[in-house]
């Protein structure tokens, strides 16, 4: 059956891919990347998916777009961080357009310049 032939609740679910995007799964996938130290809600805490009674920091879902805010690990380029996060999110949110926002770099135990 073609999409245009589907009607009722099934059509609404199929036409709205955001309903299938699980912010928890996206956060777990992105946070598990070797080049990612942690997810970030951004400087004012606005980068979060709002779910009933809680928020998933660092993940925003709007239609087919997913934006993930991360703190990268020192030693990885921004390109490496972006590729890892996009690939990880694609596995749990197929077809999503993924934007990666690198909020900061975690320098770990590097001594300060001085």
Q: Which run of H or E residues covers position 3? A: none
Can you tell me the distance from the alpha carbon of 109 to that of 95, in angstroms, rounded to the nearest whole number? Answer: 38
Q: Which residues contact 109 (CB under 8 A, 6 or more apart)?
A: none
Strands in the chain per DSSP E = 36-39, 48-51, 54-57, 59-62, 65-73, 97-106
pLDDT given at position 111: 66
Q: What is the pLDDT of residues 63-113, one digit of tens each?
A: 899 999 999 999 999 999 999 999 999 999 999 999 999 999 999 876 666
Least confident span in 11-15, 57-61, 95-99: 11-15
Q: What is the pLDDT of residues 18-33, one digit of tens each?
A: 447 999 999 999 999 9
**pTM for the full predicted model:** 0.78
Reported as a pLDDT band with limits 50, 70 and 90, residue 17 is very low
DSSP 63-88: TTEEEEEEEEETTS-HHHHHHHHHHH
CATH number for the segment(s) 20-106 = 3.30.70
Residue 91 tokens read as 């596995």
């Amino acid at each position: 059956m073609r999409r245009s032939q589907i009607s009722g609740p099934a059509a609404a679910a199929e036409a709205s891919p955001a309903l299938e995007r699980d912010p928890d799964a996206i956060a777990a996938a992105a946070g598990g990347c070797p080049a990612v130290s942690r997810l970030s809600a951004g400087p004012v805490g606005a980068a979060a998916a709002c779910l009933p009674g809680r928020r998933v920091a660092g993940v925003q879902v709007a239609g087919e777009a997913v934006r993930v805010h991360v703190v990268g690990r020192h030693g990885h380029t921004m390109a490496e961080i972006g590729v890892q996060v996009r690939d990880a999110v694609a596995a749990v949110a197929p077809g999503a357009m993924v934007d990666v926002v690198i909020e900061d770099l975690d320098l770990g135990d590097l001594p300060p310049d001085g």
